[in-house]
Chains A and B, each alone.
Chain A
Amino acid sequence: GENVEQHPSTLSVQEGDSAVIKCTYSDSASNYFPWYKQELGKRPQLIIDIRSNVGEKKDQRIAVTLNKTAKHFSLHITETQPEDSAVYFCAARYSGAGSYQLTFGKGTKLSVIP
Chain B
Amino acid sequence: DTGVSQDPRHKITKRGQNVTFRCDPISEHNRLYWYRQTLGQGPEFLTYFQNEAQLEKSRLLSDRFSAERPKGSFSTLEIQRTEQGDSAMYLCASSFSGGALETQYFGPGTRLLVL
Chain A residues with CB under 8 Å of chain B are 4, 6, 32, 34, 36, 42-46, 49, 51, 89, 91, 95, 98-107
B contact residues around A95 at 8 Å (CB): 102
Cross-chain contact B106 with A43 (CB below 8 angstroms): yes
Residues in A neighbouring B43, C-beta threshold 8 A? 44, 89, 102, 104
- Closest CB of chain A to B59's CB: distance in Å? 7
**Contact of B102 (CB < 8 Å), options: A32, A44, A45, A105:** A32
Residues of B within 8 A of A45 (CB): 106
Q: Nearest-CB distance from A64 to chain B (Å)?
A: 12
Taken together as a complex, chains A and B put the C-alpha atoms of A101 and B108 apart, in Å, by 18
- Determine which of A49, A98, A101 lies in contact with B33 in the assembled complex, contact meaning CB atoms within 8 Å: A101
* B42 with A107: CB separation less than 8 A: yes
Is the C-beta of B40 less than 8 angstroms from some C-beta in chain A?
Answer: yes
Q: How large is the interface on B (under 10, 10 to 19, 20 to 34, 35 or more residues)?
A: 20 to 34
Q: For B40, what are the chain A residues with a Cβ–Cβ distance below 8 Å? A: 106-107
In the complex, A102→B40 CA distance in Å?
A: 17
A89–B56 CA distance with the chains assembled, in angstroms: 23
Which residues of the other chain, B, contact A51 by a CB distance below 8 angstroms? 101
Tell whether B25 is near chain A: CB-to-CB under 8 Å: no
What residues of A have a CB within 8 angstroms of the CB of B45 in the complex?
101-103
Can you list 15 contacts pairing A with B, beta carbon distance less than 8 Å?
A32-B102, A43-B91, A43-B107, A44-B106, A46-B103, A89-B42, A99-B56, A100-B31, A102-B35, A102-B43, A102-B104, A103-B45, A105-B42, A106-B40, A106-B42
Of B4, B56, B107, the contact of A101 (CB 8 Å cutoff)? B56
* A98–B56 CA distance with the chains assembled, in angstroms: 9
Q: What is the distance, in angstroms, from A100's C-beta to the closest C-beta of chain B?
A: 6
Contacts of B59 in A (CB 8 A): 101
Chain A, residue nearest B46 (CB): A101
